[in-house]
Amino acid sequence: MEPAKNIDDLQSINNKTLGTNANAFPIVTLPNGQKVPTGTVGALLVNIKTYDASEETQRKQIEPALRAAIPTLQQVGMFDLFKPEEWIKGGSPGRAFVGKAAMESDGETGA
């Protein structure tokens, strides 16, 4: 997925997840020039809680939103602060899914 499309898609997911109007969470430019949609961590936390409370069939519907956040979380250094292995540990299936998806994404990008 091209970066601009991913950013727009993630912005849409963030706004929908957090129940806001379109573009309520804007895309910002970091000092290094990277563009990231705000609201990503908040939407991720809501989606993890929803994932944890859902049945397996419902979880499949939430997984694309969790995966969409991974590139932005990698860009801002979330997985440098909290390693994917730490996300996997514990009792939260949603956190474990994010950790595993981050590890898969690192393999794909070579990061």
Q: Dihedrals φ, ψ of 20, to 5°?
A: -115, 170
Mean pLDDT by 10-residue block, N- to C-terminus, for the chain (111 residues)? 68 84 77 88 95 95 95 92 94 96 76 45
Instruction: Classify residue 24: in a domain, yes or no.
Output: no
Instruction: Classify residue 66: in a domain, yes or no.
Output: yes
pTM score of the predicted model: 0.84
Beta-strand ranges (E) seen in 6-45 are: 27-29, 35-37
Instruction: Classify residue 101: in a domain, yes or no.
Output: yes
Residue with tokens 């409370």: 53
Task: Name the residue range of residue 75's domain.
Answer: 3-16+37-109
Instruction: Classify residue 90: in a domain, yes or no.
Output: yes
- Rounded distance, CA 101 to CA 39, Å? 20
- Our count of domains for the chain comes to 1
